[in-house]
Structure 1
Amino acid sequence: MRQIAALCLAAATALAALPAVAAELVMVEQKGCIYCERWDAEIAPGYPKTAEGRFAPLRRVDIGDVADDVALQRRVIFTPTFLLVEEDAELARIEGYPGAEFFWPLLDEMLREVTDYTGESS
């Protein structure tokens, strides 16, 4: 009986140590979007390896399908638009892709303002 209790305690401790995925970054894109392609070339390969990418994993949605997937604060007009989403509801957004030197600080600020993101690697 003690072994079962110890095993349950170890499992509960291990599960508690796992980060909860509460937020995700939804990239709204469309075919032929040159700024989407630029983001893909400059940011996409490394995004999952960053603190931001681990905190808010990326999900891609076509502009025509976004309203079906996310409860939006307002209509998405530009691509790419990056929606910070929690439980399929939009918390904040970045419209457009101004280049890597602007994207990272904008993303960091957005994450810090509306989530418990600290910028530390998990």
Structure 2
Amino acid sequence: MVSLRLLLSAVLIGLALAAQPARAAELIMFERAACPWCEAFDREIAPIYPKTASGKLAPLRRVDIYGKLPADLAFVQVERITPVFVLVDQGRELGRIRGYPGEDHFWGLFDAMVERTLGKASDQEKSLRIKG
């Protein structure tokens, strides 16, 4: 009876995990301490980014340019300017934004990059950013 319960529990856990959507895409933010443009991004974009459809599709991951590059990002060319945003999916780079040009320009560049590679941002999502 106990082994049947364990088996049933294992099957249910496996089904629950299989139902979870795979998270493949990420927006990698290469940054460094005391970077004024990184700090501006943190004030203007970082609070709303995870709430957007794009933020759910490609969650933000931060990497210090002076730290050890994570093994799963070995294919990404690290630049010594900050910030640099690199959209990656399944072990390949899809696009990059060098620097932080301010909130309006960032969203324009980001939306163009996402639309070219992952799909179109909705008008509703864009209006949420403005109301943010």
TM normalised by structure 1 equals 0.76
Q: Which is richer in helix?
A: 2
Does residue 1:47 correspond to 2:13, yes or no?
no
Does residue 1:109 correspond to 2:79, yes or no?
no
1:26: which partner in 2? 28
**Change beyond 3 A, Cα 1:92–1:65:** farther
Picking from 39, 49, 64, the partner of 2:66 is 64
Aligned length: 109
Asked if structure 2 preserves the Cα contact closer than 8 Å seen for 1:28 and 1:66, the reply is: no
Q: Quote the Cα distance in structure 1 between the aligned partners of 2:68 and 2:26.
A: 14
C-alpha deviation, 1:64, in angstroms: 2.2
C-alpha deviation, 1:67, in angstroms: 4.2
Asked if structure 2 preserves the Cα contact closer than 8 Å seen for 1:108 and 1:119, the reply is: yes
Name the amino acid aligned to 1:93: R
Cα deviation code 1:81-115 (max 9, x no counterpart) = 00101134322100000000100111011011122
Asked if structure 2 preserves the Cα contact closer than 8 Å seen for 1:22 and 1:87, the reply is: yes
Q: Quote the Cα distance in structure 2 between the aligned partners of 1:75 and 1:28.
A: 8
Greater shift after overlay, 30-39 or 19-28?
A: 19-28
> SS of 1:108's equivalent?
helix
Asked if structure 1 preserves the Cα contact closer than 8 Å seen for 2:65 and 2:78, the reply is: no
2:93: which partner in 1? 90
1:79: which partner in 2? 82
The percentage of aligned residue pairs carrying the same residue is 46
Q: Quote the Cα distance in structure 2 between the aligned partners of 1:62 and 1:53.
A: 20
Q: Quote the Cα distance in structure 2 between the aligned partners of 1:66 and 1:21.
A: 23
TM normalised by structure 2 equals 0.70
Asked if structure 1 preserves the Cα contact closer than 8 Å seen for 2:63 and 2:69, the reply is: no
